Amino acid sequence: MDGGDIKLVEIENGIVYLKLQGPCVECPFTELMVKFGIERAMKEEIPGIRGVQAIAPAQPEP
C-alpha cells in the first residue's frame, strides 16, 4: 500500500467529486488513476455516474 486515500466529497448531476489525500496528492499518475481506474469502475457499477473529478487539496469543496 502507498498510504494514499480518497475522500468522497459529493455527487452532483452525475459527477463524483473526490479529494485525494496522502501520497496520492503529488503522484504523477493520479489523473490516469482517476480517469481510467476510478471513473471507469464507477461508471460500470453505478447507474447515472457521468464522470469523476479530483479536487486539489487546497481547493474548497463544492
Going by their DSSP bridges, the two strands 51-55 and 15-21 should be labelled as: parallel
C-alpha cell recorded at residue 27: 503522484
| Mean pLDDT score across all residues of the chain | 84
Does the pLDDT of residue 24 top 60, yes or no?
yes
Q: Measure CA 38 to chain center.
A: 7
Confidence of residue 25 (pLDDT cuts 50, 70, 90): confident
The domains located in the chain, with CATH, are 5-55 (3.30.300.130)
What does the pLDDT read at residue 59? Answer: 57
